[in-house]
Structure 1
Amino acid sequence: MPDRLVGISRVRPWGGVAVDLEFDGDRIASVVPHDPGRMRAGMLDGRGLLALPTVVNAHAHVDKSWMGLPWQPYGGEGGTDGRIRHERAHRDALGIPSVERTAAVLDAHVRHGTTAIRTHVDVDLGIGLRGIDAVREAVDAYDGAIEATIVAFPQDGVLRRPGVLDLLDAAAAAGVEHIGGLDPASIDRDPVGQLDAIFALAERHGVGLDIHLHDAAELGAFQLELIIERTDRLGLAGCVNIAHGFAVAQLPEPRRRDLLQACGALGITFTTVAPLRLPQLPMAELDAAGVGVAFGTDGIRDLWSPYGDGDTLAIARQFARASSIVRDDDLRRVVELATRDAAAFVGREVHDLVPGARADVMLLDAEHAMDALVRAPARLAVVGGGRLLHDERDARHDRDEHQERDARPDDEHDRNPGGPHG
């Protein structure tokens, strides 16, 4: 693991004027106007690049990718239940879950500027809690430079697989931050039963709930109403997240407004992976109702889909394009949701380039946050907990020099393209 930095010199937070960031261990100690004389050993030269807080991946599945293995063709049936069956039939042959596979996924996320992750980790009768152990070991290898919040996730259902509730109970007792649920109506066929069971576990252990809700329109809205009622009755305000929540974007505006206002009052949040074929969650309406929303990659290169590279900023761009977001204030808002305002999704009070925040910084060759979103350029440097985890600054410098050299007339033919008879 690289040594800790003492700071970063000459960067432009959020596209502003050049400053120096000074670190104290894994924290930002100060943000001061740039002074060339401040550069010293252990300080990274930011070279005037745009600085943003690192991207938060608020919905990942780092336990189940085949990244790093030979290409795996898509097989099996579509739909949630079809993909579950296909995954269960083939994951053992690919060594999923494992520390090695998880490490490959984490490396991809880090290279794309993510140092804080909320990851769902499968818990079922076939693997027990092994996936949680593998994820923790892979994260621990970073020695605190990245952080992962774990959701014990019942991907194969809760009630339809007797014994899964006991595993969720054990995972909560062993220290996971959240337990999950999955389509209480269409997977378990018992929305009241599944929700009562997982809410009871959350209340008993004092953990959060993060529920995958794919069901559409009124079926999804009905389950959201059940979730709202239990959140209120059990005093779990601020502890519940809905992953996907496709139904919200499919409802008539008055119906959606009432549900979002109820969610906002109870601190129920949403995470989205910006699915291309479906309406997007309405950012302005969520903001108006005080409902937090964050972005995630979902699974990448797994038995559900061959797509994905670990770039959550690209997911945010996908959301913006699919939502027809074009104005500067709205583009910047999307970047805020992907970075600063996702702090609570990974258990942080603050995630920004300010004193007291974790020293989690990414540097990009971009003018400002809006430019960074629409291009999603390479993360030229990624710092996690004050440690340099990824550095492509020299590669960028070499590319620029090569392009400049190619553009210069450096032989007689370039100076006189017509030659001696021209």
Structure 2
Amino acid sequence: MAEEARLARIANVRPWGGAAVDLELDGDRIGAIVPHDPAAPPSPGRTLEGRGLLALPSIVNAHAHVDKSWLGLPWQPYGGEGGTDGRIRHERARRAELGIPSVERTAAVLDAHARHGTTILRTHVDVDLELGTRGIEVVREAVAAYGGAIEATIVAFPQDGVLRRPGVLALLDEAAAAGAEHVGGLDPASIDRDPVGQLDGIFAIAERHGVGIDIHLHDAAELGAFQLELIVERTQALGLEGRVNIAHGFAIAQLPDARRRDLLQAMGELGITFTTVAPLRLPQLPLHELDAAGVGFAFGTDGIRDLWSPYGTGDTLGIAWQYARASSLVRDEDLHRVVEIATRGAGRFAGREQHDLVVGARADVVLVEAEHAMDALVRVPPRLAVVGGGRLLHG
């Protein structure tokens, strides 16, 4: 993106539904916030006229798979077997003929996310014996083409398993050494059938390279809880507080109340977090219990238009709506909290210490026609403008 695409200001917007202001931009940052004066003479520099629209920090996608979509190709019918292992086999059988991963396909996914208000994301990228770490190179090239308007942190993800494919641990170690911000895991019990071995290997890499951990955990109820306990033990023993995330992890919502409370308490004390795609057929992560225990969580789209499922648009605000609706959240404070989780609360999942409409923060802004955050969540209106790092991405 050319330097001249930078905005000097975003005029006449209502941050979080408050009074109308102008956001004065300083490069990729918010340099000042001043009351909007409709009588003021035009200022120099490129201005995005907000027309009194609601302004929110951009929507964070904390669980994406931007490397493996067929978005932009002709329709691909769902095939293969169901279940995690069945989908893995189907994807491995067909991804080469679809040219996955590719910079072009990844760019199409990033464009879809940007149109829906996402400028920062955490993406899992497949690392396996066939691809090596090439997928990470593809994703970094696609993100770099946006000139900093979109930022992504990488999870080196062993989609085909870890220990059951000798050599994958070495690839994860290589990816971490080369700059991947996190290493991933996948159902240590049901995929590798060796939860202790998989977790020991992944945690050793994280400790050695100072990276985070992000583990897909689909295993339900007590089997899932057993693995959560193993993760808690290793996080504490290795001093990895604040660096471990559980993706999916719906087992926590399937446990008896006392058992869930104890696990959440331990996770909160160690800064272990969750990301969810709000699956409709399963119980949702319990908002109030997670908040009470200090367990952070964020939303993600998972894959969109890939060999796992034909669904997905790239709209993480839509996932937040799905979570709120499936959780029967109706009170203003809860609806507002869900929007916070989807925006300023999730910046840390993509390496952002501050992600809000405040002076000094990166200028990542989404504009919608809505009264306030609750209205925006319930109606999921079109994103009329999306700004990433001070540059207009959409609108």
| TM-score, normalisation: structure 2 | 0.98
State the shift of 1:43 in Å.
1.5
1:61 aligned residue (65, 68, 80): 65
Aligned residues, how many?
391
Question: C-alpha deviations, 1:85-111, integer Å up to 9, x for none?
Answer: 000000000000000000000000000
Residue 95, structure 1, aligned to residue 99, structure 2: yes
Distance 1:381 1:201, change over 3 A: same
Partner of 1:239: 243
Partner of 1:190: 194
Partner of 2:11: 9
Residue 275 of structure 2 aligns to a residue in which SS? strand
Whether the 8 Å CA contact 1:248–1:256 is kept in 2: the answer is yes
Higher Rg: 1
Partner of 2:161: 157
Partner of 2:370: 366
Whether the 8 Å CA contact 1:115–1:384 is kept in 2: the answer is yes
Amino acid of the structure 1 residue aligned with 2:244 = V
Partner of 1:416: none
Amino acid of the structure 2 residue aligned with 1:125 = L
Residue 94 of structure 1 aligns to a residue in which SS? coil
Distance 1:343 1:53 in 2: 10
Partner of 2:387: 383
Q: Which runs of 4+ in 1 moved over 4 A?
A: none
State the shift of 1:7 in Å.
1.1
Q: Identity of aligned pairs, percent?
A: 81
Residue 76 of structure 1 aligns to a residue in which SS? coil
Question: C-alpha deviations, 1:57-102, integer Å up to 9, x for none?
Answer: 0000000000000000000000000000000000000000000000
State the shift of 1:39 in Å.
3.9
Residue 18 of structure 2 aligns to a residue in which SS? coil
Partner of 2:283: 279
Residue 93 of structure 1 aligns to a residue in which SS? coil
Structure 2 gaps, min length 5: none
Distance 1:324 1:293 in 2: 18
Structure 1 gaps, min length 5: 392-422
Partner of 1:331: 335
Residue 79, structure 1, aligned to residue 93, structure 2: no
Whether the 8 Å CA contact 1:9–1:39 is kept in 2: the answer is no
Residue 315 of structure 1 aligns to a residue in which SS? helix
Amino acid of the structure 1 residue aligned with 2:55 = A
Distance 1:294 1:179 in 2: 18
State the shift of 1:38 in Å.
5.9
Distance 1:285 1:156 in 2: 33
Partner of 1:31: 33
Question: C-alpha deviations, 1:105-143, integer Å up to 9, x for none?
Answer: 000000000000100000000111111000000000001
1:305 aligned residue (306, 309, 313): 309
Partner of 2:23: 21
RMSD of aligned alpha carbons: 0.7
Distance 2:211 2:379 in 1: 38
Distance 1:34 1:263 in 2: 44
